[in-house]
Amino acid sequence: MAILAGHETRRVWMRWWPMILLLLAGASRWMLSGARPEAESSVGSQAAGCLWAALVCVALVRPRAAKWSVEGWWRAVTGGALLLCGPAVGQLLRAKQIEPSAWMIALALTPVVVALAGRVDSAIGRIWPGLAAVAGVMLVLAQPSLGDARSDVALCLMPVLTGCGAALLSSEGAESSWRVPGALAGAALVFGLGWGIAWHVGDAELPSLLATACDGVLALLSLLVLVRLGAVRWSAQFALLPLLVLVQGIWILRPPLTLRWGVGLLLLAVASLFLLLPQVEDAEAGPAVVPR
C-alpha cells in the first residue's frame, strides 16, 4: 500500500509541478521587473526565449518518440504561435496604450474562449468561471481606458488567439511527441518576425539575457501545463495569477480592504477552483515527450 501511495503521489506531482512553478514564476515576474528593469519582457526577448526553449526540447526528445506527421506538426506550430503570441499581441501590433489592468481583464476571458473553441461537451456550463474571473478582476482593478483603435483591437484579440491556440494544441490531431518544441518554434517564428519589423523601423533593442531566460522558462512551463492538465485547467492561470498578484499587493502595501475588493477576490478564487476541477478532456491531453 505504501508503494502504491508513493507511486500515486509521484504521478500527481509529475502532472502538477509545471502549474505550481508557472504560478510562482508568473506571480513574481512583476517584482523582478521592478527590481531589475532589464528583465522586462519584450518581443525580442520572447523570440529568443522561445527559440532556446525549443532547442532544449528538441535536444532532449526521446528518439523512440521522434515521429511526426505534417498535420500534427502544423497544429503544434500554429497552436503554439497563437497561444504564446496571443498575450503579447499588443507588443506585436505596437499598441502603446495597453495598461496592465486592461491586459489582465482581457486575458481573464481566455477560459470562455477555451470552453467555446475546445472539445467541451457542456460549453455553457464551462463559460461562467471565465466570466466570474473577469468580474472579479474588474471589481478590483481600475477600469481600462478605451479609445485607441490599435490597443482596442489588441485587447479583443488577446483572449481569442490565446484560447484558440490552447484548443488547437489540445486537439486529438496535435502531434504529442513534438507538440511542445513545435509550439515553441511557431511562437519563436512569429516573435522573430515582429522583432525584425521593429528593428527595421528603428524601434527595437537587443533583449537582455535575464529577460530572455525568464520568457523562455515561462513559455515552456505554460506548454507543459497545457499538455499535462488540459486546456481548461491550463486556462485557470488567468484567474489564479491576478489573484496571487493582488494578494501579494495586499500583503506588501496593506491597503484598506473594502467589500468591493472582498467580492472581487472571492470571485477569482471560486473561478480558479472550478477551472482546476477534473475535466472531461483530461484523457485527451496526452503526456508531452519533454525532459521531466
Asked, for residue 210, whether it belongs to a domain, the answer is: yes
Residue 105 has a pLDDT of: 92
Could you please report the per-residue DSSP string of 17-44? Answer: HHHHHHHHHHHHHHHHHHH-GGG---HH
Task: Tell me how far apart the terminal alpha carbons of the chain are, to the nearest angstrom.
Answer: 25
User: What pLDDT digit, counting tens, does each position of 64-74 carry?
Assistant: 455 567 777 88
98-142 pLDDT tens trace = 888 899 999 999 999 998 886 545 556 678 888 999 999 999 887
Domain range holding 256?
A: 20-284
Domain assignment present for 127: yes
**For 145-185, how does the pLDDT look when each residue is reduced to its tens digit (9 = 90+)?**
777 888 899 999 999 999 999 999 987 555 566 789 999 99
pLDDT digits over 223-243, tens only? Answer: 999 999 999 999 999 999 999
pLDDT digits (tens, 9 = 90+) for 244-258: 999 988 888 888 888
Phi, psi for residue 291 in degrees, rounded to 5: -60, 140
Rounded Cα–Cα distance for residues 263 and 252 (Å) = 20
pTM: 0.88
Burial class (CB in 10 A: 0-12, 13-18, 19+), 187: buried
Helix axes 43-60, 209-229, angle to 10 degrees: 60
CB 185 within 8 A of CB 80: yes
Place of cell 472531461: 280
Q: What is the model's pLDDT at position 282? A: 47
Structural domain includes residue 191:
yes
Answer whether residue 14 shows pLDDT above 90: no
Q: Do the domain assignments include residue 14?
A: no
Q: Is residue 11 in a domain?
A: no
Q: Look at residue 286 in the predicted model and tell me its pLDDT.
A: 42
Q: Is residue 13 part of a domain?
A: no
pLDDT at 165: 95
Distance CA 257, CA 233 (A): 29
Query: Does a structural domain hold residue 69?
Result: yes
Q: Per the structure, how many domains does the chain have?
A: 1
Would residue 132 count as lying in a domain? yes
